[in-house]
Amino acid sequence: MITNNEYVVNANNVNKRYGDHQALKNINFSIESGRIVGLIGPNGAGKTTLLKGLLGLASVEGELSVLGFNPAKQRTQLIEQVSFIADTAIMPRWLKVSQAVDYVAGVHPRFNREKAQHFLAKTNIKSNSRVSALSKGMITQLHLALVMAIDSRLLVLDEPTLGLDIVYRKQFYNALLSDYFDEQKTIVITTHQVEEIENILTDLMFINRGELVLDLPMESVAERFTELSVSNAQKAAVEKAGYHAISEQQRLGGVSMLFENIASELLTPFGQVRTPTIADLFVAKVNPTQVGA
Ligand SMILES: Nc1ncnc2c1ncn2[C@@H]1O[C@H](COP(=O)(O)OP(=O)(O)OP(=O)(O)O)[C@@H](O)[C@H]1O
């Protein structure tokens, strides 16, 4: 059995090129078992490409190991222990919900039919409905119910809640934590809706233009980053003292400055300090040129 300190994913110098476009640039990271990792990046950043590499669905250069397997060469063995939800859940439209459940039960030895039915019971999906009669959001719900009922060591979710309403999105993340996750499992989630997953993540990875620009356990965020709210006059004093923000945003009546690797005690005398939200951090790390105006 995998122990808590074993690596589920190891990526070493991973690169991916589509013609002239370099979609992944020298990516290095590792993920231990029992983590919930948010892979966050703007459109076209390389998230799906990286996930496809991890699953052996796209060839990449460099070293990649997932659950001890080489995804490109040992895809069959790897896929037995991984569940994956793509950002576009495709299902045959003529299929009935009950047939979809039967199908996964037939092909996946680790599928738990009762669990799937338990998840489906929380939705408005009827077991005799056909996929063609379900809304886009309901198809995603069906897909999630099927995948969460598979007892796999690694769950990869690419924009899992796209198209779902807020009530179901919350329900989904609650179910993910209470009914799916345990310390023997690992989850990698990509999303644009950072605020929703902020509280369930153990680790944060930001990717921008194919580069990994942040890779940090959540508990280190407060240690490494500080947000300081000051008036415009105080801002000058902060800068005079030699503290340079990595980004700034104009707020009502002042400025919000974001600092990296500067102890918050040093900043307290100038204004109000707090730990930045993941969304603020994302803007600062991924789009620094657009702030500070
Ligand atoms: N099959 C392909 N052929 C050529 N270029 C591709 C291909 N797949 C992706 N790309 C390009 O690689 C870059 C990264 O794409 P990717 O789908 O990984 O981004 P993403 O972060 O998942 O974006 P989104 O959030 O919009 O889904 C983009 O510039 C995209 O146009």
Question: Ligand 1 — pocket residues by CB below 6 A?
Answer: 18, 21, 23, 41, 43-49
- Environment class of residue 193 by beta-carbon count within 10 Å: exposed (0-12), middle (13-18) or buried (19+)? middle
Give nearest CA residue, ligand 1 atom 12: 23
Taking CA atoms only, the protein residue closest to ligand 1 atom 8 is 49
Task: Kindly give the distance from the C-alpha atom of residue 209 to the centroid of ligand 1, in angstroms, as a whole number.
Answer: 10
Does residue 145 contact residue 116 with C-beta atoms inside 8 Å?
Answer: yes
pLDDT tens sequence across 77-97: 898 888 887 655 567 889 999
What is the CA(85)–ligand 1 centre distance, in A?
Answer: 17
Phi then psi for residue 284, to 5 deg, are: -65, -40
What's the gap in Å between 216 CA and the centre of ligand 1? 24
Which of 51, 59, 46 is CA-nearest to residue 86?
51
Q: Which residue's CA is the closest to the ligand 1 atom numbered 30?
A: 44
Residue of 48, 208, 209 to mutate, ligand 1, most atoms within 8 A of C-beta: 48
Q: What are phi and psi of 10, to 5 degrees?
A: -135, 120
Residue 71's pLDDT is 95
Which pLDDT does position 25 carry in this prediction? 97
Q: Long-range pairs for 212-216 at CB < 8 Å and ≥24 separation?
A: 212/27, 212/28, 212/29, 213/285, 213/286, 214/281, 214/285, 215/29
180: Cβ–Cβ under 8 A, 6 or more apart, which residues?
148, 155, 187
Say what the pLDDT of residue 293 is: 37
Given a cut of 70, the residues of the chain with pLDDT beneath it are: 1-5, 86-90, 288-293
CB contact set of 251 (below 8 Å; sequence gap of 6+): 229
Token readout for 155 is 């769950």
Question: Best of 14, 16, 22, 47 to mutate for ligand 1, by most ligand atoms within 8 A of CB?
Answer: 47
Ligand 1 pocket test, pick from 15, 18, 206, 209 with the greatest ligand atom count within 8 Å of Cβ, gives 18
How much distance in Å is there from the Cα of 215 to the middle of ligand 1?
Answer: 21
Q: Whose structure tokens read 């994956």? A: 84
CA 49 to centroid of ligand 1, rounded, Å: 6
Question: CB atoms < 10 A from the CB of 278, how many?
Answer: 19
pLDDT value at position 39? 96
- Mind listing the pLDDT tens digit for each residue in 172-231? 888 888 878 888 899 999 987 888 888 899 999 999 999 999 999 999 999 999 999 999
Nearest CA to ligand 1 atom 6: 18
- H helical segments located in 122-206: 136-148, 166-175, 194-197
How many whole angstroms from 18 Cα to the centroid of ligand 1?
9
Q: Is ipTM strictly over 0.90? A: yes
Q: How far apart are CA 261 and CA 222, in angstroms?
A: 10
